[in-house]
Structure 1
C-alpha cells in the first residue's frame, strides 16, 4: 500500500504526522509525497477557526472527488474529526474513514487493521516517537490540550485539558532527530509555559530546556506558543540564557485593548503585558519578540482597534501574525453580539499588518552589518536561503545568501541589506 499524508493546521499536527509517517514506514507501508501515486490519503484536519475548518472540508472533498478516477481511500483524522465526528459521519458518505484525536501509533494500528472509523475521548499525548524528517528543522510536541478558558478558543473542546510528555521521552526524540541530522528543534504545545504542571506539579519548561541543552550535537532549540498569562522570570531567563536555546519569544497576546482582553477571558492587562515585554528585553537585549493579534472579537470597536494599534506601536514587536475572529460553537464568545463586521475587521487587519511592516523594516535594518549564524534550508540556483535565530520556520521571513550551500549546514553570515520580512546576507564562513 502507498499512503500520502496531507497536514492542515498547526505545528503540533505536523509533529503528529511525521511520527505517523515513520511508524507506517517501519510497518512496510510506502509513504508517497506525490499524492497522485497514493492508494490511500490520510488528511490531518484542523478544527480551530472557520478558515481552517473550510480548508479541511475542501481538502477532504477534493481528494474524495478523485475516487471517480482511481481506486483511492480517503481517511480524515485529527481535530476536526474529533470535534464534529457525528456530523462528518452523516454528511460525508463518500469518505472511507474518520479517526479523532488519537496517538500516531494507534492511528497506524487502525489503518493496518482496516478499522477506519474510531472516536473516543481525545488522547493527545504519546511517549514513543519514531521520526523521519527531511527538513533541517523539526517540530517536537512537548504537550497538548489546554487548561485555559479563553472565551474565543475551541481547543479545549476537542483536545481536552493540558497534558505533558515526560522529559525522558522528549529527550529521546530530540536525540534521535539530532543524530539523523536535524539542526533546529522547535518545541510546541498549546501552551508551552504550562509544560510539566500536570506530571511534575510545577512549571518545568526551564528544566526541560536545561536537559535538552546538554545533549550532544550542533543544533538549536526554539520554543513557540508562550501564553502571556503564565510567563515568569525563570522562563524568560531559560529561553534567553540556556545553552542552545534561541532568544526568541513567541507570545500571542491577541489584543492590545483591555476591554477586548476582558471579553476574551485573558488575565493580564495591557499595562502588565507591556511590563512583561520590557522585562524580556531588559533581561535578554538580543531577544526577538513575536506576537499574534485577533481582530473583530465581540466587544471590538473602532476605539479598541486604535488601542491595539497604539499598543503595537509602543511595544514594537519584531514579528506579528494576525487573524480575524470567527464565532466557534461551544465557546463562551459564541452567540455574543458581534460589535464589528468581519469585513471591517479584515480591513483593520490589513492596516495593522502595514503598521507592523513599518516597524519590522526599521528594526531589521538596524541589523545591517551584524553577523549571525544561519541555518541553510534551501538552494536556489547559485544561491541559498536559510534562517537566523530571528526567524521561526514557516511563519517568519528568511535570510537570502549569496552562495550555494548544502541545506542543513550552519554558516556565519553578515547582513548586507534588510527588508520588512527578510535579510540579505553575505557568508563569512561555513562551520557545521
Structure 2
C-alpha cells in the first residue's frame, strides 16, 4: 500500500509551482500525494509556507501549529515544513516548534524528497503534477529578484534573479499542453526582467511569442510585471499576438514621488502615468491589474490623497491593496520607523477599495449587452463559473452563467453579458 502524503501550500502561485514539482518527485517515488487536504489518513504532512508579509507569516505559523498538535495527538506521524518562512526563520522555528521533524528552505527539493524517503529524479526536475484545474497552469519563468524595494524581503529569501532558459520553458509548456492545459499564467518575482541575466537583454516578448506557438495553448496571461524599464516589445506582443491576453498584472505600489523614492521603486509619478497611457493607447482593450501598498513609513495624508486621485484617474480594471508590514532586515525596517498605526493603515486600505468598487461596478455595467469569450473553470450550484481574458483565476472577478447541461468545464464559449455587480458578471450562452 502506497504511503500517503498531504502537501499543504500557502502563499502565492510561485509557491504552488514549487509544491507541484515536489508532488511529481514523490509520485514517481511511489508515494500517493494529496494536496491541501483535510484527509487525516495521510500520516505525513509537508507544509509549504509563505513568509512575505505579516498576515501570511501568521497564517503559516498557525497552520504549522495546527499540524504540530495533530502530530502530538497521534493523527499524523511526520511533519515537515518548507518554503519562504522556513528559509528565513529556520532556527527560530526549530526552537519554538520542535514537533516538526525538519525544516527546508526554498531550494532544497532534493533534501525534502530524501527526508520523506525517496530519491530525487534529476531527469524529471522540470516536470510537475499540476494541482490547478486541468485547463490552466502557472508557468514560473524565473526565480528571485534583483530589485531592492525598501519594504520587500523576497530578495533576502529567494535571492537574485535567475531566468529559466527559454527552451526549457517551451518544453514545459508543451508538456502542460499535452496534458490538456489551454491557459498559461506566466509568473515570476519580476517577469519583465526575464532573460537579462542569461541572454544579456530582456527577452520576455520573445518568450511570450515562443510560448504562443505551442500547440494547444490558447491563452497566455502575464503576471508580476515590474514597471521600471518596461520592455516596449512586450507592449507590441500584447497588442499583436492573439493568444496573449489583453491583460497585465503590473504592481505600481504608489504614485507619490516622495513615497516611491522611499520605496526605492526606480520609477516616478510622471514615468508611471506615461507608461499607463502608452499601454492604453497601444492596447486599447487592455485590462490592467495593479497592487498598491499603503502606510509605508513616511506616507503622509497628502501622499495618500495623491494615491486616491491616481486610482480615480487611471480607473484600473483590477486592483488589490495591502497595508505596509515591516519585514526584518529590509531597507525600510532598518532605516525608517513604522510610525503609522495599524488602524490608519486599514482605514486607507478600505478607502482605496471603496473607490475601486465604484470603478469596478461602472466598468462592469458597461459590459452589459456585449459579447465575450469565456473559459469555464468549474460548476458551483446552479452556475458555471467562468472567466474572460480580462480575469485571472483566484484574484479577479468571474462570469456566472446558469447551468444548461451542455457546456463543459475547460472549454471556451461565447456569451452575452446580461447583468453586472461590483466584482462579478452574469451572462447567457449565445
| TM-score interval, normalised by the smaller of the two chains | over 0.9
Shift of the alpha carbon at 1:380?
A: 2.5
Provide the rounded CA distance (Å) in 2 between the counterparts of 1:255 and 1:198: 27
* Partner residue in 2 for 1:55: 59
Provide the rounded CA distance (Å) in 1 between the counterparts of 2:49 and 2:103: 10
Shift of the alpha carbon at 1:385?
A: 0.7
* Partner residue in 2 for 1:199: 198
Aligned pairs for 1:122-141 (under 5 A) are 128-135=126-133, 136-141=135-140
Q: TM-score, normalised by structure 2?
A: 0.94
Segment of structure 1 superposing worse, 187-196 or 64-73: 64-73
- Which of 17, 20, 25 in structure 1 is aligned with 2:19? 17
Residues 154-178 of structure 1 show CA distances to partners (whole Å, capped at 9, x for unaligned) of 0000111000111111111111111
Shift of the alpha carbon at 1:29?
A: 0.3
Shift of the alpha carbon at 1:73?
A: 1.1
CA RMSD, aligned part only? Answer: 1.7
Provide the rounded CA distance (Å) in 1 between the counterparts of 2:210 and 2:252: 28
* Partner residue in 2 for 1:276: 275
- Which of 398, 411, 414 in structure 1 is aligned with 2:413? 411
Shift of the alpha carbon at 1:41?
A: 0.8
Residues 194-242 of structure 1 show CA distances to partners (whole Å, capped at 9, x for unaligned) of 0111111110111111111111115211010001113121111213322
Q: Secondary structure at 1:36's aligned position in 2?
A: coil
Provide the rounded CA distance (Å) in 2 between the counterparts of 1:106 and 1:242: 41
Specify every segment of 5 or more residues in structure 2 that has no aligned partner in the other structure, as ranges: none
Conserved? CA contact 2:238–2:283, under 8 Å: no
Residues 96-152 of structure 1 show CA distances to partners (whole Å, capped at 9, x for unaligned) of 11011126455324422599xxxxxxxxxx962233445032111110100001000
- Which of 3, 6, 10 in structure 2 is aligned with 1:4? 6
* Partner residue in 1 for 2:88: 83
Provide the rounded CA distance (Å) in 1 between the counterparts of 2:91 and 2:382: 53
Provide the rounded CA distance (Å) in 2 between the counterparts of 1:324 and 1:240: 34
Aligned pairs for 1:205-244 (under 5 A) are 205-244=204-243
Report the number of matched residues. 418
Q: Secondary structure at 2:416's aligned position in 1?
A: strand
Aligned pairs for 1:107-118 (under 5 A) are 107-113=112-118
Provide the rounded CA distance (Å) in 2 between the counterparts of 1:73 and 1:273: 49
Segment of structure 1 superposing worse, 206-215 or 331-340: 331-340
* Partner residue in 2 for 1:92: 97
Conserved? CA contact 1:365–1:418, under 8 Å: yes
Provide the rounded CA distance (Å) in 2 between the counterparts of 1:28 and 1:46: 28
Aligned pairs for 1:414-425 (under 5 A) are 414-425=416-427
Q: 2:73 aligned with 1:74, yes or no?
A: no
Residues 400-420 of structure 1 show CA distances to partners (whole Å, capped at 9, x for unaligned) of 012343211111111111221
Q: 2:286 aligned with 1:287, yes or no?
A: yes
Provide the rounded CA distance (Å) in 1 between the counterparts of 2:142 and 2:217: 25
Provide the rounded CA distance (Å) in 2 between the counterparts of 1:260 and 1:18: 37
Shift of the alpha carbon at 1:4?
A: 0.6
Provide the rounded CA distance (Å) in 2 between the counterparts of 1:195 and 1:105: 26
Q: TM-score, normalised by structure 1?
A: 0.93
Question: 1:167/1:131 Cα in 2 relative to 1: closer, same or farther (>3 Å)?
Answer: farther
Segment of structure 1 superposing worse, 61-70 or 335-344: 335-344
Question: 1:252/1:103 Cα in 2 relative to 1: closer, same or farther (>3 Å)?
Answer: same
Shift of the alpha carbon at 1:426?
A: 0.9
* Partner residue in 2 for 1:299: 298
Question: 1:40/1:285 Cα in 2 relative to 1: closer, same or farther (>3 Å)?
Answer: same
Q: Secondary structure at 1:246's aligned position in 2?
A: strand
